[in-house]
Amino acid sequence: MFESIELLNGYLRVTPIVFIIDLIFLFLFLYSWYINCLKKRYLIDFWHSVLIVQFLMMLIIGYPFMGSYKTLLVRPHIKLSFDMYYVDWAYFINLIGFIFVFLAAYIYSKGIRINFIDDIIEFLYKKINCTLTIISDTKFFGKIFALCLMFTLFVIIYLVIEGNRFFDLRGIALLNGQIRWVANLFFVCILPTFIVLSLYLILTKQNNNIILLLLLFGVFELIVFGARGEIISSIVVCISVYLIKNKLTLRIFYKSVSILLALSILFFSLEFVRESYRRVPNENRVNPIVKLYYGNNLSDIRDCALILEHWDGKYLYGKNILAGLMFFVPREYSEYRNTWATSRYTNRLVGASDAHAGYRMGLFGEMFLTFGIIGVGIWGFLWGYVIKRLDCIVKANNENKNFIKIIFSAYLVYELLFGLMFHLSLGWYFWIKLIVFLSIIFLYERRII
């Protein structure tokens, strides 16, 4: 219907009318950020810190890159026709979800409450807040953290022997049904939780040398496994907590820029190590900055377009959710999981190998495949309500002497509910992480360890 145009020598490719809409939402986000944060002398608040990656970077800034033919420099074998119809379709699916996010925030600001969500948030908030209090007993926390690291070390040794290599062990785990769920359980779910809790102790200056040593060893295990996203996200939570707590000064600004540069170096270093092990001989290296938006890191809208292009139009109606809840059953032993697990389903749609971890489709892509645009709207509204509720909890306690604990609790509640709501086939992450928090409380109260 509308012709696409290329900008900046083909590095950007857009449909003009969609690009105009994109720029309007960019302006609205920046205006909101200025009014609610910068004008009040804060660099960020809870609401904008959540949206800055998922909405601003992935969707709004990411859109012009998603349809560019420069993608072929990084992903030469991608089965995408680069028809902007599918890119725009993927864009609007996710944009509609975010419109309902903003609608929920507006309704919340008018005093309308959803009691059952408030009750869930309050329950999770209290349990996590209790956990953060308990781990201040660093001797107790050190013991359970060490037990976790011992188990993950055994998994790493097994994968090293199995794959005959020392880095990027995740790819090996994906090909082994017997160990895949164990690896995901510990390296994507449990160990990152302990990393975040350790960072909390460091941020509140309650750590000791043992905790610091355990943290460094845990980060090393995640690097070896190939879970770089879990490392970066844990650090980002700490940076967000720090920025929310402190008013914007020149010193805070310089610190923020320094940390951003350090994180960038860390990210590209981990990417370099990973690609060194994956690289095919005689394959040309790609500029890591070019690879950021044309590779797999921020490719949610492009991947959603790829899925939509091959989709048969039949909704899943929860089959992928049920398959996800059966995570402990290896796919080799369950035809149902092998058929309806989201990663297998999307891989099969586009003809990808079973070794592929699956495609990210933006926050609302999987929900669209499951329940259609109605599901996208409902889920966006519920998520927006959750973020706004947590944002208000944080802002209502900004004079509290335990403000850091309150912000951390809010982020951990958000991560729990985010995993439940937006990784439909991986909703078990929510239950496992909740079990981790409840287990810490149980073990401490019973003095078992």
CA gap 391, 386 in Å, rounded:
9
Per-residue confidence (pLDDT) for residue 342, from 0 to 100: 82
Q: Taking the model in full, what pTM does it have?
A: 0.88
Tell me the Ramachandran region of residue 83: left when phi exceeds 0, alpha when psi lies from -120 to 50, beta otherwise.
Answer: beta
Tell me if 55 sits within 8 A of 284, measured CB to CB. no
What does the pLDDT look like over 76-88, one tens digit per residue? Answer: 777 777 788 999 9
Q: Which residues contact 168 (CB under 8 A, 6 or more apart)?
A: 226, 273, 274, 277, 278
Q: In what helix (H) or strand (E) does residue 339 lie, and over which residues does it extend?
A: helix 335-340
CA gap 440, 449 in Å, rounded:
10
What does the pLDDT look like over 24-77, one tens digit per residue? Answer: 999 999 999 999 998 888 888 999 999 998 899 889 999 999 888 888 777 777
Per-residue confidence (pLDDT) for residue 112, from 0 to 100: 92
Q: Name residue, tokens 């070794």.
A: 355
137 or 330: which carries more pLDDT confidence?
A: 137
**CA-to-CA dists, residue 382 to 205, 349, 376, 388, angstroms:** 35, 29, 10, 10
What does the pLDDT look like over 274-291, one tens digit per residue? Answer: 666 555 544 556 566 666
Q: How confident is the model at residue 152 (pLDDT cuts 50, 70, 90)?
A: very high
Tell me if 232 sits within 8 A of 226, measured CB to CB. no
For the chain, the maximum distance between any two Cα atoms, rounded to a whole number of angstroms, is 67
Q: Return the bridge partners of 5, or none.
A: 14
164-172, Cβ contacts within 8 angstroms, sequence gap of 24 or more: 165/277, 166/224, 167/223, 167/224, 167/226, 167/273, 167/274, 167/276, 167/277, 168/226, 168/273, 168/274, 168/277, 168/278, 169/224, 169/225, 169/226, 170/225, 170/226, 170/227, 170/357, 171/226, 171/278, 171/355
Residue 425 has pLDDT above 70, yes or no: no
Per-residue confidence (pLDDT) for residue 88, from 0 to 100: 95
The per-residue pLDDT of the chain, averaged, comes to 85
Amino acid, single-letter form, for residue 298:
L
